[in-house]
Amino acid sequence: MTLTYPGDVVAAAVGRVMGPDLAGGFVVATGAEYDPATDKTRVSFRPLLPAEREHVVADEHDVPWLGQIGVAW
């Protein structure tokens, strides 16, 4: 799944956990590419695996991130 965001959000995207969706699932951002011509960032997501949920940590703003556990994006 990919979504497009206004501006350059590459630094704030990869590893970010989002959800839950209507089915109760979560996704994690796996990559982001900024296009300066359009001033938009395209972000790729994949489902967060149930075993990864215990590795989700919050930053100083209480934003959820997937900790660095060696998971292949």
pLDDT digits (tens, 9 = 90+) for 24-49: 889 999 999 999 999 999 999 999 98
Which residue's structure tokens are 């979504």? 3
Domain contains 71? no
What is d(CA 71, CA 21) in angstroms, rounded to the nearest whole number?
Answer: 22
* Total of domains in the chain: 1
Task: Please give the angle made by the CA atoms of 5, 47 and 51, to the nearest 5 degrees.
Answer: 135
Domain range spanning residue 8?
2-66
Domain contains 6? yes
Domain contains 23? yes
What is d(CA 58, CA 43) in angstroms, rounded to the nearest whole number?
Answer: 20
Task: Please give the angle made by the CA atoms of 50, 12 and 31, to the nearest 5 degrees.
Answer: 60
Record the tokens describing residue 56, joined without a space: 């989700």
For residue range 8-26, list pLDDT tens digits in order: 999 888 888 988 888 888 9
Domain contains 72? no
